Structure 1
Amino acid sequence: MSTPVHLSIAALSINCADPVALADFWARVLGRPVNPGATPAYAAIDATDPAGGPKITLHHDPELKPVRNRLRLALRTDRFETESLRLIGLGAESLGDFEKPSLRWTTFADPEGNEFDLVTSQPA
């Protein structure tokens, strides 16, 4: 018999050089407002509804390590081309396009170089 799980993701935390600027980028990507009170040390973006995903917190880290991020967001869409162009217009950099028989995705970097993916289903 398995033990019941009583956990859920409360927030995704991102260490960064400029929490206010990066919060603004992610707020525009996700269509959510940056929470009031953002400072050079901390900013947050709340989920606007339960289906919108977890809260995102951004923390200033003066000792950022020059390594690839270990947590990578995957954003799902059914408007792949439109959203790809919008992300680039917001300051994301396209790093590569990939396809599998039922899946297509592009890996992007946010303005501080954190990688994330835009994913869409493809007809079989």
Structure 2
Amino acid sequence: MSTIISAVSIDTADAAALAAFWAEALGRPVNPGGTANYAAIDAADPADGPKLTFHKVPDSTTVNNRLRLALRTDRFEAESQRLVELGAKPLGDYEKPALRWTTFADPDGNHFDLVTVLPAA
């Protein structure tokens, strides 16, 4: 048996609210039964990535989180705007020869990246 990542757990002040943001961002439904204490979003297909779980914790994010999600898109500008409309806050834009990305904060302050592959020169 090999080891795989089956879920990524995210701490939050309100599990249902943050799950709703990520459900919209990823185009996946929140699993039935989510509450302010715990909510989850399953992946319909392994290619969609791991399950996301959200757990209420008493403290808030005050510094850069140690683990962050990277979302890949081929519609960078439109997807960036959509994430902002959902409540994400852009923190910085970056570019390397083959990649462009923006680091965002979700409504709870957790950092994540939106990445696109740039065309070859």
Same fold (TM > 0.5) = yes
Following the alignment from structure 1 to structure 2, what is the Cα–Cα distance between the partners of residues 29 and 60? 20
RMSD of equivalent CA atoms:
1.1
Q: Which residue of 2 aligns with 1:28?
A: 24
Q: Does 1:93 align with 2:89?
A: yes
Following the alignment from structure 1 to structure 2, what is the Cα–Cα distance between the partners of residues 64 and 96? 21
TM-score normalized with structure 2 length: 0.95
Structure 1: gaps spanning 5 or more residues: none
Q: 1:69 aligns with which of 60, 65, 71?
A: 65
Q: Which runs of 4+ in 1 moved over 4 A?
A: none
Structure 2: gaps spanning 5 or more residues: none
Following the alignment from structure 2 to structure 1, what is the Cα–Cα distance between the partners of residues 61 and 36? 19
TM-score normalized with structure 1 length: 0.92
Q: 2:33 aligns with which of 30, 34, 37?
A: 37
The structure with the larger Rg is 1
Q: Which residue of 2 aligns with 1:17?
A: 13
Please state how far the C-alpha of 1:15 moved relative to its aligned partner: 0.8
Whether contact under 8 Å (2:61, 2:109) holds in the other structure is no
Following the alignment from structure 2 to structure 1, what is the Cα–Cα distance between the partners of residues 114 and 107? 16
Please state how far the C-alpha of 1:63 moved relative to its aligned partner: 3.2
- C-alpha spacing 1:25/1:11, structure 2 compared with 1 (3 Å): same
Please state how far the C-alpha of 1:65 moved relative to its aligned partner: 5.5
